[in-house]
Amino acid sequence: MNHDQSDPSHEHDPSIDALFWRDEILQIMFWLKGEGLASEATIEDIRQFLGVESNLIQFHLDEAVKDGYLNFHPDPAGMPLGNRYSLSEFGRKEGGRRFADGFSELTKPAHGECAADCDCHKTGNHGSCSHNH
């Protein structure tokens, strides 16, 4: 089906793009820190995960710094590609929330598996579970 480019339902919405890229960057930064891989990241570090042009990432990193999600750490040698970014406290909380939301399907208990807050984990008594071990 051929859609007319002037059809408003198919217009490109930059505000949705901005939210998408912010969420992606925060999730990557949260994951890198949580896994102990990096507490700070460069544009190239992030680009490896997103597979998009560096200038797009740079724009959204700058916006995340302005909005208080990230901290900016300039490269001591003055090399722009050596600039690093880290999660602010606000960014860490938001990144964690977005990461949990984004991966909730992968982290929930499997069928027949008890949840992390099940009494059997606290008591060691598997008879108190609603399923069989």
Can you list the domains of the chain with their CATH numbers? Answer: 14-102 (1.10.10.10)
Instruction: Determine if the pTM surpasses 0.75.
Output: no
Tens-digit pLDDT profile for residues 75-112: 999 898 899 999 999 999 998 888 887 765 555 555 45
3 state DSSP class of 121: helix
For residue 32, CA distances in Å to 35, 90, 99, 113, 123 come to: 5, 16, 11, 28, 34
